Every structure is written in structure tokens, then in C-alpha cells.
Amino acid sequence: MFMLDDKSSNTASVVVLCTAPDEATAQDLAAKVLAEKLAACATLIPGATSLYYWEGKLEQEYEVQMILKTDNAHQQALLECLKSHHPYQTPELLVLPVIHGDTDYLSWLNASLR
């Protein structure tokens, strides 16, 4: 069964995207936010290539894409934790709302953050 996630609620789920320079850094960041119960799950996808302009120069970097699942109540603390422990000066920190999801998964996610 699927349910609409209530955006006005502190328990509404969000997905946070963040990249890390390597697998060790991604694992360290994931372990930290999971231990502090700021995220219920962290999916690490190695092998991403990011292209972007930085200080006027085109950069191309190997990165690990992190996909973190949390809720509105933990979102700000998660972002602050990632930013304060991240090696990048300006890390990717994007928050995407979850509009629909499996009821059992969303219940597990919320329970995991308590």
C-alpha cells in the first residue's frame, strides 16, 4: 500500500542528496548521521562523475553520490551535521520532498529516527 506523505508534518519524509569525494568519506559521513539518528538510511553510489564550474574553471571529479532518507524534524540537523563534517567548502546539499511512498517503508523510516 502507498500513502501520500503529509508535507505539513514533522514526520513527512525527505530525501537529501550529498556528494562525497571518495567512498571512505561517504561511509564516514553516513556512519555519523546514522549513529546520531539524523537519517534512517544512507545509500552510497560510487562511480559518479560530476562536472561543474568552480572559480571560473571547468572541473570534472569522481564522486560518491549519497542519498539520505530522513524527515522534516531531522532535516536541518542533518544538513548542519553534513556541512560541518564535510571536506568540501561548498558541499552538495539538496532536499527533495517525498510525495508518495510505501506505507511500511515510511513507517520504518519514521520509527528509525526515534
Write out the binding residues for Cu cation: 18, 85-86
Residue 2 clears pLDDT 50, i.e. is over it: no
Which class for 56: exposed (0-12), middle (13-18), buried (19 or more C-beta within 10 A)?
exposed
* Number of residues assigned to the chain: 114
Query: What distance in Å separates the CA atoms of residue 86 and residue 88, rounded to the nearest whole number?
Result: 6
CATH of the domain at 59: 3.30.70.120
DSSP H or E stretch at residue 70: strand 57-71
Domain total of the chain: 1
- The whole domain housing 44 covers 2-112
**For residue range 64-97, what is the model confidence (pLDDT) as tens digits?**
999 999 999 999 999 999 999 999 999 999 999 9
Residue 9 cell numbers, joined? 508534518
Check if the beta carbon of residue 32 is closer than 8 Å to that of residue 52. no
Please give the grid coordinates belonging to residue 90. 561548498
